[in-house]
Amino acid sequence: MYETGWNVLPPFQGRGIAAAAATVAAAGAEREHRYIHAFPSVDNPASNAICHKLGFSLVAECDFEYPPGSFMRCNDWRLDLTRSLQGEAWLGTRTVRL
């Protein structure tokens, strides 16, 4: 399974940085993988919104081990990378101002 994740410091949140990073990660993965997964906490509405915005599909809730030995309740989001090869809009570029 190929996965991505992000963590943006509070002063930089809300500027599209996480969405841009996830887009770049997906673009790099599409040559080798069919899907990329993200596992944001069910209690993290911002990260779940990013997954939805970028076209990820919600697979299910699950228990995710991170860090090792510690489990948290997450949503398993999956993005079909073959869609990007067909020119889907989620793979567009975006300018991020810091």
pLDDT per residue over 8-62, tens digit each?
999 999 999 999 888 888 877 767 788 989 999 999 999 999 999 999 999 999 9
Question: What predicted TM-score, i.e. pTM, was given to this entire model?
Answer: 0.77
Helix, strand, coil percent values for the chain (each to nearest 5): 35, 25, 40
95 pLDDT above the threshold of 70 = no
pLDDT at 88: 42
Q: What's the DSSP call for residue 34?
A: S
Residues linked to residue 80 through DSSP beta bridges, in sequence order: 35
User: Taking all residues of the chain, what is their mean pLDDT, rounded to a whole number?
Assistant: 83
What percent of the chain lies above the pLDDT cut of 70? 84
pLDDT at 30: 67
Distance separating alpha carbons of residues 35 and 3, to the nearest angstrom: 8
